[in-house]
């Protein structure tokens, strides 16, 4: 089991400090499909937030940490937050890379692993497809050892 620590980074006032952000619903949704594969995440806990990151999120592979911009997180809706958590956990857990393609006859991305966070409409309309597609990518990676491009 991979040991992953998730840190969400926030922008703060000059006084600094530390806050927590509730990610339980998004991580529980991930667990629903893939179980507790991220033992060190404290999946049922709050994730600590303490800094700034650009663009909006990043998996730091050497440390197995996920950093998310507070300004993005605070303005995102629940669907966008879920997509981002799934996307970043797939980077850190399974070493999946980005997939940049669109679904045929659609403006929706082919995968949760698109480099851009998809629209709420795409996630709501095609969530089941995206879950299956992510599972297929995970299995392919596990079976063939396909590594993400760095």
Q: Which residues contact 114 (CB under 8 A, 6 or more apart)?
A: 98, 99, 100, 101
Query: pLDDT, tens digit, for every residue of 49-105?
Result: 445 555 777 776 666 677 787 778 888 999 999 999 899 888 888 888 899 899 999
Give the pLDDT confidence score for residue 79 in this predicted structure: 94
Largest CA distance in the chain: 50
Measured from the Cβ of residue 49, the count of other Cβ atoms closer than 10 Å reads: 23
Query: pLDDT, tens digit, for every residue of 1-36?
Result: 333 333 333 333 222 334 456 677 787 888 888 876
Query: pLDDT, tens digit, for every residue of 29-62?
Result: 888 888 765 544 443 333 444 455 557 777 766 6
Give the pLDDT confidence score for residue 43 in this predicted structure: 38
Helix, strand, coil share of the chain (percent; to 5): 40, 15, 45
Give me 112's structure tokens: 């949760």
């Amino acid at each position: 089991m991979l040991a992953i620590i998730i840190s969400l980074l926030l922008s703060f006032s000059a006084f600094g400090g530390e806050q927590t952000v509730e990610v339980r619903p998004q991580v529980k949704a991930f667990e629903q499909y893939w179980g507790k594969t991220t033992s060190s995440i404290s999946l049922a806990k709050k994730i600590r937030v303490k800094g700034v990151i650009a663009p909006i999120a990043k998996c730091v592979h050497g440390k197995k940490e996920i950093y998310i911009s507070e300004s993005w997180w605070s303005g995102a809706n629940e669907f966008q937050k879920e997509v981002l958590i799934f996307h970043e956990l797939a980077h850190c857990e399974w070493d999946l890379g980005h997939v940049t393609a669109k679904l045929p006859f659609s403006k929706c991305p082919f995968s949760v692993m698109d480099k851009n966070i998809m629209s709420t409409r795409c996630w709501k309309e095609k969530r089941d497809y995206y879950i299956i597609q992510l599972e297929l990518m995970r299995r392919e990676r596990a079976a063939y050892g396909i590594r993400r491009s760095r």
